């Protein structure tokens, strides 16, 4: 596998050719400050400060009987407040795109979606309605490590440690779509040579590598 082949698999590269056959998607080039936020594990887990006052977990339930357990002790009141990151321009741009796509989207990086982090979402899936919901999924996902650090690990001509730029793909959310009914098709020389459930792709690719 070559770096050029891996790069062609980035959604922002293949989408223009297949946009009439796939889910409507909006793209945002991510600033390095946001990438640094995603990979920074030196401090506490903090969601960005929202300039639009949109909460990543608006329906969370508070147990008021235990609320005192989460109060900041009086002796800690002199401590400096936590410095929450903020990305106002990006947040506003993303909000406009989400509205254009019907109000709910699925987020994705260049190659991967945060599918392993669905458990932390209030909806228990990848649907997002605001910037902070996207940030919550991305900061909680190990799957995105591939895009951020390991995209070229299998390349025989590896010279890059990461892509030149990272893109956020906002894909229109369709509640009727079912993961178990998603399939990947493999075409060689304009002929269909394989098809499999997306969930079973890894096993399929292992078998393909053994076909000699």
Looking at residue 84, its pLDDT comes to 86
In this prediction the pTM is 0.78
Same structural domain for residues 143 and 186? Answer: no
35 and 86 fall within a common domain: yes
Half-sphere exposure of 39 (CA within 13 A, CB side): 13
Which tokens in the block code for residue 169?
């793909």
Separation CA 140–CA 122 (nearest Å): 13
pLDDT digits (tens, 9 = 90+) for 90-147: 999 999 999 999 999 999 999 999 999 999 988 889 999 999 999 999 999 998 988 9
Dihedral sign of CA atoms 100, 106, 111, 117 in order: positive
Same domain, 204 and 141: no
Tell me which long-range contacts 19-23 makes (C-beta under 8 A, separation of at least 24): 23/171, 23/172, 23/174
Q: What was the pLDDT predicted at 64?
A: 41
The pLDDT, as a whole number, for residue 82 is 65
Q: Are residues 69 and 158 in the same domain?
A: yes
Among 91-100, 151-160, 180-189, where is mean pLDDT lowest?
Answer: 180-189
Instruction: Say if CB 88 and CB 48 are below 8 A apart.
Output: no
10 Å CB burial of residue 125 (0-12, 13-18, 19+) is middle
Domain with 103 in it? 3-177
Number of other CB atoms surrounding residue 93 within 10 Å: 16
Considering the domain architecture, whether residues 169 and 192 belong to the same structural domain is answered as no
Q: Which of 48-57, 116-125, 184-193, 200-209 has the weakest average pLDDT?
A: 200-209
7-22 average pLDDT score: 94
The predicted-structure confidence for 57-95, as pLDDT tens digits, reads as follows 654 444 444 444 444 444 444 455 568 899 999 999 999
Sequence-separated (6 or more) residues with CB below 8 Å from residue 21: none
Please give the mean pLDDT across all residues of the chain. 84
Q: Give the tens place of pLDDT for each residue, 54-67.
A: 876 654 444 444 44
Model pLDDT for residues 173-184, shown as the tens digit of each residue: 998 887 778 888
Asked whether residue 172 falls in the same domain as residue 183, the answer is no
Same domain, 16 and 51: yes
Cβ neighbours of residue 158 closer than 8 Å, sequence gap 6 or more: 3, 152
Number of domains forming the structure of the chain: 2
Looking at the DSSP bridge assignments, the partners of residue 167 are 29
What is the model's pLDDT at position 204? 56
Nearest to 102 by CA among 51, 52, 169, 174: 174
- Tell whether 120 and 188 lie within a shared domain: no
């Amino acid at each position: 596998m070559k770096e050029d082949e891996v790069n062609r698999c980035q959604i922002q590269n293949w989408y223009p050719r297949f946009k009439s056959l796939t889910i409507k998607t909006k793209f945002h080039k991510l600033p390095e400050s946001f990438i640094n936020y995603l990979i920074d594990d030196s401090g506490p887990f903090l969601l960005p400060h929202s300039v639009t006052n949109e909460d990543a977990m608006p329906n969370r339930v508070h147990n008021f009987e235990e609320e005192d357990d989460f109060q900041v002790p009086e002796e800690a009141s002199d401590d400096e407040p936590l410095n929450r990151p903020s990305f106002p321009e990006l947040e506003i741009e993303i909000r406009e795109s989400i509205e254009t796509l019907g109000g709910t989207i699925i987020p994705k990086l260049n190659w991967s979606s945060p599918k392993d982090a669905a458990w932390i979402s209030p909806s228990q899936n990848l649907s997002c309605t605001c910037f902070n919901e996207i940030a919550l999924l991305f900061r909680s996902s190990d799957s995105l490590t591939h895009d951020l650090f390991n995209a070229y690990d299998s390349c025989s001509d590896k010279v890059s440690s990461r892509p030149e730029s990272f893109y956020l793909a906002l894909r229109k959310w369709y509640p009727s779509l079912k993961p178990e009914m998603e399939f990947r098709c493999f075409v060689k020389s304009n002929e269909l040579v394989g098809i499999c459930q997306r969930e079973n792709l890894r096993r399929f690719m292992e078998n393909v590598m053994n076909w000699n």
